[in-house]
Amino acid sequence: MAAPHENRGSADDAPGLAARRLAATLIDEVLRAGTALDETFERMAATAGLEPADAGLARAIATVAFRRLGTIRQVVGARLERGSPRNSGPFEPIMVAAAAQLLFLDVPDHAAVDLAIRHLHEDSRSSRYVSLGNAVLRRLAREREAILANLDPLANTPDWLRQSWTTQYGPDVAMAIAAAHAEEPPLDLTVKSDPAGWAGKLDGIVLPTGSVRLRGREAVTGLPGFSEGEWWVQDAAAALPAHLLNARPGERVADLCAAPGGKTVQLAQAGAQVVAVDRSGPRLRRLKANLDRLGLQAEVVTADASTYEAEPFDAVLLDAPCSATGTIRRHPDVAWSKRPEDIAKLTALQARLLDQAGRLTRPGGRLVYCTCSLEHEEGEAQIEDFLARTPGFARDPIKPEEIGGQAEALTPQGELRTLPHQLAGETPRLSGWAGFYACRLIRS
């Protein structure tokens, strides 16, 4: 995509145009630069000067656009007889944003179409194709029901990921993963105590693993217990690795690549003496803020975990940087911002981090390695290679009762492998969890 013409808008903007302008710019930036949508939104929204409602709408449009990008490209492309016009500036991201509204958001058709046309007029490169864009968008609105009746979940999965998941898990599971990604993600909480009580107060469900899943979509900062530090937001699958470390009161525990800190606070809540290590200062400031709100303590160290030196720990948790393909349901831009070549770079980094984590684990100590990735190279293969080159470590198999009886999330070797379509709930939106891999090792 070509960079959209920068237009900050003015007081004369039609209502809602600034939100659509930001949405199209977000879509373009993420696809061109491979940046994360959350970080891109925070940066752009800070300077856009939009009302909170408009900023929220822009983010919602961009999120849905990435969740359904394959479908949107197919249906728009099928209605462009000569394909997307060349040298058309922001034509494509504007069309993607408008199609997302017409097909998948509760936005009046006339607003989606009219504001897209106004946006096309703002750039001389795209203004030449106003009539074409208008015709295509009005046709999408007319044919919406037929389009929605024939959706293919795998259309929204890039080819390389589709091939990867089909090879690793088989075609049926690959389809189930893609179908789960099409749903809006649930919101899970880890509570300090009394999950059933908090589920009752917050209109939630206690999951088999102990997390509380909310039925509603309210802003979390206004919910009971937030300001009192009684719980924190954490995907149910993301809560498992720290639990599997079995940290005990008084133990020295290292949380490597710790930010933004969900696992750190779990370990601190267990009574461990936690050292949280991460190279990102801004992310560690967020971690410290979470600790303060929750009334918990941890030593926070700004350092590269692959070279961090300290006295060996009783237990080490390494949540390694990864492709994050297990988080696509919550972060749909990941499917389109990551590339196959990213995996090779990440696995090399993971191996260095894992080696250092091993050195930081005392004899008799425990090491849990985890990634929020669905890719075998970043999980099972990484551990196989580590065990082959590192004498003295062995798997400590995870038992079903440690993860709420969810045996389908365990491999034959006793490793954790959660998949997005697992954990059936009351509705599709209240089902599933992130894709995580974790392995628990013991140093002899």
Residue 247 inside a domain? The answer is yes
Residue 67 inside a domain? The answer is yes
What is the domain-level CATH number for residue 147?
1.10.940.10
Contacts of 301 (CB under 8 A, 6+ apart): 275, 276, 277, 278, 308
* Active site annotation includes 372: yes
What is the domain-level CATH number for residue 394?
3.40.50.150
Residue 297 inside a domain? The answer is yes
250, 384: one domain = yes
Q: What percent of the chain has pLDDT over 90?
A: 94
In the chain, the amino acid numbered 292 is D
Residue 432 inside a domain? The answer is yes
Computed over every residue of the chain, the mean pLDDT equals: 95
Q: Which of 257, 322, 370, 372 is catalytic?
A: 372
Rounded mean pLDDT, 182-191: 96
Residue 124 inside a domain? The answer is yes
- pLDDT of 341-394, one tens digit each? 999 999 999 999 999 999 999 999 999 999 999 999 999 999 999 999 999 999
**Confidence (pTM):** 0.93
DSSP 141-204: HHTHHHHHTT--GGGGS-HHHHHHHHHHH-HHHHHHHHHHHTSPPPEEEEESS-HHHHHHHHTE
Residue 347 inside a domain? The answer is yes
Nearest to 377, CA basis, from 437, 418, 444: 437
- pLDDT of 125-174, one tens digit each? 999 999 999 999 999 999 999 999 999 999 999 999 999 999 999 999 99
Domain count, the chain: 2
Residue 237 — pLDDT band, cuts 50, 70, 90? very high
How far is Cα 425 from Cα 36, in angstroms, rounded to an integer? 29
53, 120: one domain = yes
Residue 271 inside a domain? The answer is yes
- pLDDT of 50-91, one tens digit each? 999 999 999 999 999 999 999 999 999 999 988 888 889 999
Residue 216 has pLDDT above 80, yes or no: yes
Last residue of a domain, one of 151, 177, 204: 151
107, 253: one domain = no
Q: What are φ and ψ of residue 315, in 5° steps?
A: -150, 145
Domain that holds residue 104: 17-151
